[in-house]
Structure 1
Amino acid sequence: MRPAIFKVMIREWKRILTFPVYYIAMLVLPPVLCLLYAGIYNKHFAKDLPVAIWDEANSPLSRQFTFMLEQTESIHITQQVHSEGELQAMLHSGTVMGAIHFPRRMDEHIKSRRPVYVTIYTNVSYLVPAKLLYKDAAQVLLTAAAGVQLQKLVKTGMPAGKAMALVMPVQLQSFTLYNPRYDYQQYLVPGVIAVAMQMMMIMVVALALNYEQKTGSLEALYEASNGSASNAVMGKSLAYLGVAWLDYMIITLIIYPLFASGAQLFSWGLFTIFTLLMLACISVGMMVSAIFKDLLLACDVGIFYTSPAFVFSGFTFPRWGMPWYDQYYAMIMPLTPFVDAFFKVYFMDLPLRYVRLEMAHMLLFTVVGLPVAILLFQRTLQPSTVQHA
């Protein structure tokens, strides 16, 4: 490292620890936000969701089904209703998240092998809870109905194996991979932290160069960098990257293990793609700071650029389902390739060779952003401009 770059880096660290605009956004807010996010999803996954039973069968079989439903993780029977209107009123008021209707003469129809229609009501405005309710309810009801048929055939003297083959001719096995319990904390918290880190890093770094003129310290930066914009930009970038690493260590090795049941986010693969994300954000922020001298305008540009990142990244909705122009817009944000790499490295536990394209995409922001920032800021560091400032 050149002495001038090191000197600028140390100087920038002092500024980060001195100016509230820096240390609040970069050292205080990231751990606080992580605590808030981890606390919101502290229950990890949706369970014991309130469900109503509309039992018109009122039979031993319907009571057995109700008992089996209560044993699942997601279903908790809290209400008994006696009409569809009462059921819908409870769904509208939020008293229950779903309901199950057992029709009249259900036992007779099952035993006579006539079709029986058990209705599952779910409130799909709550998408994940609705899916969980349907999954558990369907699994219980199909298994229980097959069990009733199996018992009837065995009682007639049919061998158990043949009866099983007749009742369930196709055995279905399902494997839910990479987040089988729909764990909110495991899935959402790391992604939301990455979004917050991107926004804060770009917003703060967007003030890295133009704030020197605001504070009247441009001449000091000129002396520390030997009048070289490359020394100034590289030194400041390394300082911000060091802060990002510190936040990453605090979040992954201290806060998240304490408030997420001992889980750790740290791995060298994840650390690598996080570093590339932060370098990309720093490069974008430096470019914005070099282009826009007005601090308010630079902040507005940063907000406009980073605000839709989570929506467009594909974290909650696949990008291939978006219009083509939204897909292109998503590709000019560092979070987009990071999310693709994050799914592979964090959830699927794949080595870095599977995310080479995503890493190259993030590196492209640095390759483009830093040179542009250096070229533009060199004009600001001209001796005449510095003396005038």
Structure 2
Amino acid sequence: MITFQHILSHLQGVITTNGQRLLAIIRKEFIHIRRDPPSLVMVFIMPVLMLLLFGYAVNTDVNHIPLAVYDQDGSQASRSLVASLVNTGYFDLVFQAGSEEEIKSLLDSGRARAGLIIPPGYSRDLKRQATATAQLLVDGSDPLVARTALSMAELVSQAQSRELRLAVLSSQGTALPPGPAIDLRARAWYNPGLESLKFNIPGLIGLIMQNITMMLTAFALVRERERGTLEQLMVTPIRGAELMLGKLIPYIVVAFIDMGLALGIGTLWFKVPIAGSAMLLLALTVLFLVFALGLGIFFSTIARTQLQAMQMTMLFILPSVLLSGFIFPRSSMPRPIQYLGNLLPLTYFLDILRGIMLKGTGINYLWQDVQALAGFGAAVIALAALRFRKRVD
């Protein structure tokens, strides 16, 4: 006869058996996780990295705009105007230019984002209670920075005009002459309409080219390894360097065709003209493509599966989007974050793209970016070749 005690005992046995099986499965999964260090590191690093990057890099407040000044007056009044701009916290005085050509050169190269030109006779006009004029040239290739610079320049000129008029009234007690005391004429270069599209399209071209080319080659060796065809290539007389170049060159051709398509759509469909040399742009693009493809090959020598290769590329893409100046101005980021951005080749390629497409700058202004890209490309190709040779040998 089956009693309640028998039923309870049976249930306890079933629960104990099921619990043991469940614990065994849990233990087995933890062992699998422990034996997959790349995925384990990714799981714990990704949330910390994302939080730090988004916390510091995602900042739409524009400040610390590099300012170059050409002060031809050299008076207390002209220095007061410069100090008023700097004291807002939106401008950093980084260059004292000696000519208007130097101001233009600094804006072309991107070392300054705004240039203040104070003509001779500035203080004399103020003393005569006439309107003193000055000019602020702003790099309009980044509309967010340009709008901030233009609006702050207007506020500063209005505030100084009001202070000067009040000083005249209090000291002389005479009626104020009509018009502002200071006329700070601000003008945006390169993108006078401050169209965001002209800023975004070159950035998108650079980001897309990096992501596509890197993913293409990141899967190259991993796919061979998963299919078992890499071992077949290893027993052939083909050397490691020959095999790597043989895999790299077709992707360079494909990436170059993609670059042509992206530029065609950007210029013909979105109406973003190439102000500079298209041949120079394509030539410098080769340097960046070599880096991106080499980095993909390097990832493929580390990853064992296509999923791991995808995780590695995503881990690299995230900082590239946030720290390269693709969306957010780098001048507003903390100094350590800016240094991290300097380690990303996309930072330099975006300078090249926007410099040639929007400013029409030549190689004489871009040589520092070219040197950085060449250095990154050579380093990543050397690392990829070294690891690839070890895999093949």
Output the TM-score relative to the length of structure 2.
Answer: 0.51
Q: Tell me, yes or no, if structure 1 residue 370 matches structure 2 residue 381.
A: yes
- Pick from 334, 341, 344 the counterpart of residue 333 of structure 1: 344
8 Å CA contact 1:257, 1:263 repeated in 2 = no
8 Å CA contact 1:210, 1:292 repeated in 2 = yes
Q: Deviations over 1:18-53 (max 9, x none)?
A: xxxxxxxxxxxxxxxxxxxxxxxxxxxxxxxxxxxx
Q: Tell me, yes or no, if structure 1 residue 211 matches structure 2 residue 223.
A: yes
**Cα gap change, 1:262/1:316 in structure 2, threshold over 3 Å: closer, same or farther?**
closer
- Pick from 289, 292, 317 the counterpart of residue 278 of structure 1: 289
| Residues in 2 aligned to 1:311 and 1:282: alpha-carbon distance in whole angstroms | 21
Aligned-residue offset at 1:284: 1.1
**Structure 1 partner of 2:209:** 197
**Cα gap change, 1:134/1:230 in structure 2, threshold over 3 Å: closer, same or farther?**
closer
**Structure 1 partner of 2:196:** 184
**Structure 1 partner of 2:368:** 357
Q: Deviations over 1:263-301 (max 9, x none)?
A: 799712221232221111111111111122232112101
**Cα gap change, 1:183/1:351 in structure 2, threshold over 3 Å: closer, same or farther?**
same
Alignment root-mean-square deviation, CA: 3.7
8 Å CA contact 2:301, 2:387 repeated in 1 = yes
8 Å CA contact 1:199, 1:307 repeated in 2 = no
**Cα gap change, 1:236/1:266 in structure 2, threshold over 3 Å: closer, same or farther?**
farther
Letter of the structure 1 residue corresponding to residue 316 of structure 2: Y
Letter of the structure 2 residue corresponding to residue 211 of structure 1: R
Q: Tell me, yes or no, if structure 1 residue 293 matches structure 2 residue 310.
A: no
Aligned-residue offset at 1:328: 2.9
**Cα gap change, 1:176/1:352 in structure 2, threshold over 3 Å: closer, same or farther?**
same
**Structure 2 partner of 1:307:** 318
Aligned-residue offset at 1:194: 1.3
| Residues in 1 aligned to 2:273 and 2:190: alpha-carbon distance in whole angstroms | 18
Q: Tell me, yes or no, if structure 1 residue 347 matches structure 2 residue 346.
A: no
**Cα gap change, 1:263/1:345 in structure 2, threshold over 3 Å: closer, same or farther?**
closer
**Cα gap change, 1:266/1:247 in structure 2, threshold over 3 Å: closer, same or farther?**
farther
**Secondary structure at the counterpart of residue 209 of structure 1:** helix
Letter of the structure 1 residue corresponding to residue 363 of structure 2: L
Q: Tell me, yes or no, if structure 1 residue 245 matches structure 2 residue 256.
A: yes
| Residues in 1 aligned to 2:339 and 2:149: alpha-carbon distance in whole angstroms | 36
Could you tell me the percent identity over the aligned residues? Answer: 24
- Pick from 379, 382, 386 the counterpart of residue 390 of structure 2: 379
Letter of the structure 2 residue corresponding to residue 271 of structure 1: L
8 Å CA contact 2:291, 2:381 repeated in 1 = no
**Secondary structure at the counterpart of residue 173 of structure 1:** strand
| Residues in 1 aligned to 2:314 and 2:377: alpha-carbon distance in whole angstroms | 20
Letter of the structure 1 residue corresponding to residue 310 of structure 2: C
Q: Deviations over 1:216-272 (max 9, x none)?
A: 222554477x43111111222221111111012222235641343887997122212
**Secondary structure at the counterpart of residue 174 of structure 1:** strand
**Cα gap change, 1:357/1:223 in structure 2, threshold over 3 Å: closer, same or farther?**
farther
Aligned-residue offset at 1:325: 3.0
| Residues in 2 aligned to 1:217 and 1:265: alpha-carbon distance in whole angstroms | 46
Q: Matches of residues 10-49 of structure 1 in structure 2 within 5 Å?
A: none
**Cα gap change, 1:171/1:333 in structure 2, threshold over 3 Å: closer, same or farther?**
closer
**Structure 1 partner of 2:162:** none
Q: Matches of residues 73-88 of structure 1 in structure 2 within 5 Å?
A: none
| Residues in 2 aligned to 1:297 and 1:205: alpha-carbon distance in whole angstroms | 13
**Secondary structure at the counterpart of residue 191 of structure 2:** coil
**Structure 2 partner of 1:97:** none
Q: Deviations over 1:190-214 (max 9, x none)?
A: 2112112212221221112222111
**Structure 2 partner of 1:175:** 187
Aligned-residue offset at 1:362: 1.2
| Residues in 2 aligned to 1:339 and 1:134: alpha-carbon distance in whole angstroms | 21
Output the TM-score relative to the length of structure 1.
Answer: 0.52
**Cα gap change, 1:325/1:167 in structure 2, threshold over 3 Å: closer, same or farther?**
closer
Q: Deviations over 1:317-343 (max 9, x none)?
A: 333432233223222322011122233
**Cα gap change, 1:184/1:235 in structure 2, threshold over 3 Å: closer, same or farther?**
same
| Residues in 2 aligned to 1:328 and 1:294: alpha-carbon distance in whole angstroms | 32
| Residues in 1 aligned to 2:313 and 2:193: alpha-carbon distance in whole angstroms | 36
| Residues in 1 aligned to 2:281 and 2:260: alpha-carbon distance in whole angstroms | 12
8 Å CA contact 1:253, 1:264 repeated in 2 = no
| Residues in 2 aligned to 1:272 and 1:288: alpha-carbon distance in whole angstroms | 25
**Structure 2 partner of 1:260:** 271
Q: Matches of residues 4-153 of structure 1 in structure 2 within 5 Å?
A: none
